[in-house]
């Protein structure tokens, strides 16, 4: 197949690509992210590029998006234009997917707010609820004798049932296959890696010697727009690194609905599935480089996302989620080997996806409810998760109700006049004190609009200062 | 690599082999089974062949087994001679592993014996204890509505928990990955295949339509000397085919001990493991041809063997079984996908190996105890399993004691003057009635000796006719 060179300006990035792929795909290869709200269907007209060198074959249906002058100046839609020559292409700022603010750390709430509308509260002592999915247990076993010649694995589980809260265990064949030699070679001093699985202990690996210090896990937030990975020391519970990036699925559609349409219309979710796997692998490798921790010492992953993202992650077709009566394939996801879906950690390492509740109440909100302790107290609390999809959960240790809506469009462009995504120039924090308004802008830039978190801040501050009432109306008489 | 032709006489079978392999391996390739008591170590001298054409390189250490004349006449040990020329080889009858009588059917006991020494009694009604590992359940599900829009898999398990005795289920990712489309394509009429696994239902596959009539399993007896496979209709419990063959591991040693020595001295059990897998695959294919049943409709295998054979089957190193204090890797074997060890049935088909008790009390005797109901009654009964390794279990529903010994050598050559294996000419059945002795000979040939089952028959008949007493001595005074 013929190869062509495509140079992107003003980035001055050049990639070599196979002839026939779209400019959108070529840009992705050059790590340049282009707006593609419709998922490359040629419908939204957001991915405009200017071809300034070489000849590009543009789809005729796309010309409706351009003026005669623009066409003469080489303007094309990236998703509808195939590379059949060496090209030079200019990416206008407007077509560029701006680097959004990816929240990779919990921001402690510093101002004092009434208890009843606290949005997010971390438990006082993280250690008190730290119960990792996978733990490592070092065992110094007694050598077998004629009076005590139980099977090798029984010798291990006999000790494990004393040192863990599991009374029964499940052992993979891989784990048994070289066990006898390993135990004898290491003089019966070994470390067992045990995962929680339906209430029983799933023994993932037996290593020689004491390896309890090499026990790491990943916490993955699979957002529609961004993917964030935390590297966690599972012995101490300490987060030792965090990395985030755009969800590479964005090229197949901006929101979950257009990604579902993309996958279901072509009858395969492979590209969408592989995109998020590539995200996780890239972030994991970056964390491994930063911290010097071998990916082979990462033995578990817990991932949370909305129901559609969880389906994409595991390769489950989400078509019926989109259409009435809105049915997912499953809400409880099987614990699998991470390598089974192409994630590169320890070969025996597992992946567990936080269960969803329904098609539009996903594992992300379940994880949020767990983390902020909403279900632990009698007091009624409220959790608001404003992502591209937004959920609100209200409840206590007895009941919880939850609803969800497309929050991105509602808060950040669709429903509010000055709404915008949390990119450069968005007002993200607002405070009203003694009649004075202070605010913070993403990228410390000139304000261009207000993003979701800014909007919620504004409403909260207006209510706290009694400028609006409980009915949401301005207190004009005041 | 150079290839050579080796012709075996008087069989007149020719095979093409890679230069450098032994004559023992070449013979195996030609489906000619050669005696190899020591497992190809050049120690027993049983694998004598005569090279009558071409030049073979024999190991010098092997010449001690031959006279000068024999060496001049081209006699070599098959295991110590490498193929480096086109050869013509004569296989003497004595070197040939004779086709043994492989018992592939339960022989009903027709003569009346005192209850207390019954050896084997089938339960009156096989259906009463037929509880297959895997069952298929046909489901006609209600289509989801807005009032009943639970996840697809929950719709299935809701119905399964009504139609089976399982209340919780485990579902593989593979089973979920195309579930949504399958359910809708088949208008919610599907068949679930469910395996018993640690008390919960393990859903192996979901098929469109009603496939409950295509549900087959294999019962595999992994004997040291022979491997027997029964094809069972898991809907009816009926055995619809049975095939047996020599255990191909025989080339690595006649008994479990020499096979363990073979595997442990070379640090790999791959050839031994692969040999028994080849046995099972070949027998399964033969059964599939005979019955016209597709191997893809075979969804489960239950295998029983002594502890060493079970280890070999699953690829577990058995080295510590052989040496004091005689420790196996495990006595309870994980339920695995059959394909994970290279057995070719349905890709989601499972293999379960009957648990062992200890290093020398294996799953074969456990299966025997289960099948004859020894553990069900208060009455004390006795089960004697005379294989190459023999076990005797005595007990009732409260207690069972069991011991084992190398029965082949004891009954069939080692300990008794006229003992022999159950090959042509062996006396296998004896009856004494009104002072008349009648007997049956394997292959209806001239009697050459007595095999284990003949020996036990003889003792039983002598005791029943009071020719010997309970002390095992002849009643000379009678």
Per-position DSSP letters for A58-120, written without gaps between them: E-GGGGGGS-HHHHHTTEEEGGGEE--S-EEEE--GGGB--------SPPPP-S---GGG---
Q: How much is the mean pLDDT over chain A? A: 87
* B345 vs B25 pLDDT, higher one: B345
The b-or-e profile of A106-120 (16+ CB within 10 A means b, else e) is: eeeeeeeeeeeeebe
Distance (Å) from the alpha carbon of B148 to chain A's nearest alpha carbon:
8
Q: By percentage, how much of chain B surpasses pLDDT 90? A: 61
* DSSP bridge pairs for B438: B431
Question: Is B108 in contact with B247 (CB distance < 8 Å)?
Answer: no
- Are residues B314 and A173, on separate chains, in Cβ contact within 8 Å? yes
- Are residues A177 and B315, on separate chains, in Cβ contact within 8 Å? yes
CB atoms within 10 A of CB B117: 12
DSSP string, B231-290: EEETTT--EEEEEEEE-GGGGG-SSHHHHHHHHHHHT--HHHHHHHHHHHHHHHHHHHHH
Supply the pLDDT for residue A105.
Answer: 57
Q: Identify the closest residue of chain B to A150 by CA–CA distance.
A: B327
Supply the pLDDT for residue A112.
Answer: 32
Distance (Å) from the alpha carbon of B381 to chain A's nearest alpha carbon:
27
Supply the pLDDT for residue A56.
Answer: 80
Supply the pLDDT for residue A35.
Answer: 77
pLDDT digits (tens, 9 = 90+) for A82-138: 999 999 999 988 787 765 566 565 533 333 333 333 333 444 444 456 789 999 999
pLDDT digits (tens, 9 = 90+) for B40-52: 777 777 788 999 9
pLDDT-derived band at B123 (thresholds 50, 70, 90) equals very low
Supply the pLDDT for residue B185.
Answer: 96
Distance (Å) from the alpha carbon of B365 to chain A's nearest alpha carbon:
18
Q: How would you classify the pairing of strands A298-305 and A216-222?
A: parallel
Pick among B158, B171, B325, B330 to test the A interface (most A CBs inside 10 A): B330
Torsion sign, CA atoms A367, A368, A373, A376: negative
Residue with tokens 């608001």: A384
pLDDT-derived band at B122 (thresholds 50, 70, 90) equals very low
* B64 vs B232 pLDDT, higher one: B232
- Pick the closest to residue A44 from A218, A258, A194 (CA basis): A258
Distance (Å) from the alpha carbon of B155 to chain A's nearest alpha carbon:
10
Can you tell me whether residue A344 is helix, strand or coil?
coil
Indicate whether A442 pLDDT > 90. Answer: no
* B227 vs B36 pLDDT, higher one: B227
Indicate whether B107 pLDDT > 50. Answer: no
* B409 vs A376 pLDDT, higher one: A376
pLDDT digits (tens, 9 = 90+) for B229-244: 999 999 999 999 999 9
- Are residues B146 and A358, on separate chains, in Cβ contact within 8 Å? no
Indicate whether B246 pLDDT > 90. Answer: no
Rounded-to-integer distance, Cα A222 and Cα A303, Å: 7
pLDDT digits (tens, 9 = 90+) for A274-297: 999 999 999 999 999 999 999 999
Supply the pLDDT for residue B47.
Answer: 86
Indicate whether B127 pLDDT > 60. Answer: no
DSSP string, A197-251: ETTEEEEEEEEES--TT--EEEEEEE-SSEEEEEEEETTT--EEEEEEEE-GGGG
Average pLDDT over residues B90-97: 82
Joined together, the tokens standing for residue A13 give: 């990035």
The b-or-e profile of B148-167 (16+ CB within 10 A means b, else e) is: ebbbbbbbbbebbeeebebe
B contacts of A324 (beta carbons < 8 Å): 146
* DSSP bridge pairs for A325: none
- Pick the closest to residue B405 from B386, B419, B418 (CA basis): B386
* Mean pLDDT lowest among A129-133, A138-142, B35-39: B35-39
Q: Identify the closest residue of chain A to B145 by CA–CA distance.
A: A325
pLDDT-derived band at B298 (thresholds 50, 70, 90) equals very high
Average pLDDT over residues A307-327: 95
pLDDT digits (tens, 9 = 90+) for A384-407: 887 777 889 999 999 999 998 877
Pick among A313, A334, A339, A351 to test the B interface (most B CBs inside 10 A): A334
Average pLDDT over residues B375-396: 88
- Are residues B324 and A170, on separate chains, in Cβ contact within 8 Å? no
Indicate whether A253 pLDDT > 90. Answer: no
Average pLDDT over residues B421-435: 88
- Are residues B179 and A328, on separate chains, in Cβ contact within 8 Å? no
Rounded-to-integer distance, Cα B374 and Cα B367, Å: 11
Distance (Å) from the alpha carbon of A382 to chain B's nearest alpha carbon:
25
pLDDT-derived band at B105 (thresholds 50, 70, 90) equals low
Supply the pLDDT for residue B124.
Answer: 44
- Are residues A144 and B173, on separate chains, in Cβ contact within 8 Å? no
* B50 vs A254 pLDDT, higher one: B50
Q: How much is the mean pLDDT over chain B? A: 87
B contacts of A334 (beta carbons < 8 Å): 170-173, 176
A contacts of B317 (beta carbons < 8 Å): 177-178, 180-181
Can you tell me whether residue B433 is helix, strand or coil?
strand
- Are residues B149 and A184, on separate chains, in Cβ contact within 8 Å? no
- Are residues A314 and B173, on separate chains, in Cβ contact within 8 Å? yes
Supply the pLDDT for residue B318.
Answer: 94
Rounded-to-integer distance, Cα B468 and Cα B478, Å: 10
pLDDT digits (tens, 9 = 90+) for B164-173: 999 999 999 9
Average pLDDT over residues B446-452: 87
Supply the pLDDT for residue A61.
Answer: 72
Can you tell me whether residue A43 is helix, strand or coil?
coil
pLDDT digits (tens, 9 = 90+) for A182-195: 999 999 999 999 99
Average pLDDT over residues B112-119: 34
- Are residues A145 and B330, on separate chains, in Cβ contact within 8 Å? no
Q: Euclidean distance between the first and final Cα of chain B, in Å?
A: 74
- Are residues B334 and A180, on separate chains, in Cβ contact within 8 Å? no
Distance (Å) from the alpha carbon of B474 to chain A's nearest alpha carbon:
39
Q: Identify the closest residue of chain A to B307 by CA–CA distance.
A: A151
- Are residues A320 and B176, on separate chains, in Cβ contact within 8 Å? no
* DSSP bridge pairs for A419: A450
Supply the pLDDT for residue A310.
Answer: 97
Pick among A143, A316, A352 to test the B interface (most B CBs inside 10 A): A316
Indicate whether B468 pLDDT > 70. Answer: yes
Question: Is A387 in contact with A365 (CB distance < 8 Å)?
Answer: no
Can you tell me whether residue B474 is helix, strand or coil?
strand
Pick among B272, B314, B320 to test the A interface (most A CBs inside 10 A): B320
Q: Identify the closest residue of chain B to A326 by CA–CA distance.
A: B149
Q: Identify the closest residue of chain A to B264 by CA–CA distance.
A: A181
Pick among B334, B336, B340 to test the A interface (most A CBs inside 10 A): B334
* Mean pLDDT lowest among B179-188, B250-259, B269-278, B307-316: B250-259
Q: Between A and B, how many CB-CB pairs are < 8 A?
A: 127
Supply the pLDDT for residue B103.
Answer: 59
Indicate whether A62 pLDDT > 80. Answer: no
Q: Identify the closest residue of chain B to A169 by CA–CA distance.
A: B198
Query: Phi and psi of B336, rounded to 5°?
Result: -120, 170
Can you tell me whether residue A292 is helix, strand or coil?
coil
Joined together, the tokens standing for residue A173 give: 């064949």
Q: By percentage, how much of chain A surpasses pLDDT 70? A: 91
Q: In what order do the strands lie in the sheet containing A200-208?
A: A134-140, A189-197, A200-208, A169-171
Residue with tokens 């007895």: A398
A contacts of B173 (beta carbons < 8 Å): 314-315, 334, 336, 340-341
- Are residues A151 and B320, on separate chains, in Cβ contact within 8 Å? no
Average pLDDT over residues B239-251: 90
- Are residues A331 and B149, on separate chains, in Cβ contact within 8 Å? no
> Torsion angle, CA of B386/B391/B395/B401, rounded to 10 degrees?
170
Supply the pLDDT for residue A39.
Answer: 66
Supply the pLDDT for residue A107.
Answer: 38
Average pLDDT over residues A242-261: 87
Indicate whether A311 pLDDT > 50. Answer: yes
Supply the pLDDT for residue B117.
Answer: 33
Average pLDDT over residues A413-420: 72
- C-alpha separations of B142 from A450, B157, B161, B190 in Å: 47, 13, 15, 11
B contacts of A168 (beta carbons < 8 Å): 198
A contacts of B341 (beta carbons < 8 Å): 173
Supply the pLDDT for residue A98.
Answer: 64
Pick among A166, A325, A337 to test the B interface (most B CBs inside 10 A): A325
Q: pTM value?
A: 0.76
Question: Is A375 in contact with A326 (CB distance < 8 Å)?
Answer: no
Question: Is B92 in contact with B48 (CB distance < 8 Å)?
Answer: yes
Complex ipTM, two decimals? 0.75
Q: By percentage, how much of chain B surpasses pLDDT 70? A: 91
Average pLDDT over residues B246-264: 88
Rounded-to-integer distance, Cα B246 and Cα B248, Å: 6
B contacts of A171 (beta carbons < 8 Å): 330, 334
């Amino acid at each position: 197949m013929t190869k062509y060179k495509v140079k992107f300006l003003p980035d001055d990035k050049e990639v070599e690509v196979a002839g026939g792929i779209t400019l959108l795909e070529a840009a992705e290869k050059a790590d340049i992210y282009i707006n593609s709200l419709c998922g490359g269907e040629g419908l939204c007209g957001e991915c405009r590029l200017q071809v300034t060198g070489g000849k590009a074959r543009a789809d005729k249906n796309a010309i409706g998006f351009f003026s005669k002058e623009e066409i003469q100046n080489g303007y094309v839609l990236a998703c509808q234009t195939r590379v059949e020559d060496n090209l030079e292409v200019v990416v206008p700022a407007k077509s560029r997917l701006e680097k959004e603010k990816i929240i990779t750390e919990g921001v402690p709430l510093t101002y004092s707010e009434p208890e009843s509308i606290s949005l997010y509260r971390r438990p006082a002592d993280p250690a008190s609820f730290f119960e990792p999915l996978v733990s490592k247990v070092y065992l110094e076993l007694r050598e077998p004798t004629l009076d005590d010649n139980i099977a090798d694995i029984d010798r291990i589980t006999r000790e494990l049932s004393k040192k863990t809260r599991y009374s029964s265990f499940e052992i993979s064949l891989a784990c048994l296959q070289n066990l006898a030699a390993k135990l004898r070679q290491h003089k019966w001093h070994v470390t067992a890696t045990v995962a929680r699985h339906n209430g029983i202990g799933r023994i993932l690996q037996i290593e020689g010697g004491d390896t309890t210090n090499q026990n790491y896990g990943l916490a993955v937030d699979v957002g529609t727009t961004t993917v964030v990975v935390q590297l966690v020391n599972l012995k101490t519970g300490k987060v030792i690194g965090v990395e985030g990036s755009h969800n590479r699925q964005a090229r197949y559609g901006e929101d979950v609905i257009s990604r579902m349409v993309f996958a279901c219309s072509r009858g395969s979710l492979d590209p969408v599935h592989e995109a998020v796997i590539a995200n996780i692998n890239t972030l994991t490798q970056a964390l491994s480089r930063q911290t010097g921790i071998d990916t082979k010492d990462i033995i578990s992953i817990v991932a949370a996302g909305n129901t559609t993202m969880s389906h994409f992650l595991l390769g489950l077709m989400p078509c019926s989620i989109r259409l009435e009566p809105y049915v997912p394939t499953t809400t409880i996801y099987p614990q699998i080997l991470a390598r089974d879906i192409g994630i590169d950690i320890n070969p025996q390492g597992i992946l567990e996806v936080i269960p969803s509740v329904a098609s539009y109440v996903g594992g992300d909100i379940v994880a949020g409810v767990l983390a902020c302790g909403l279900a632990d107290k009698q007091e009624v609390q409220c959790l608001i998760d404003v992502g591209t999809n937004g959920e609100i959960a209200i409840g206590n240790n007895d009941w919880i109700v939850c609803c969800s809506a497309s929050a991105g469009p509602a808060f950040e462009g669709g429903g509010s006049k000055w709404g915008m995504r949390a990119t450069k120039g968005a007002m993200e924090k607002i405070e009203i004190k003694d009649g004075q308004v202070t605010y913070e802008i993403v990228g410390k830039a000139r304000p261009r609009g207000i993003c979701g978190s800014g909007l919620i801040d504004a409403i909260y501050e207006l209510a706290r200062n009694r400028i609006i009432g409980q009915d949401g109306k301005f207190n004009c008489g005041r």
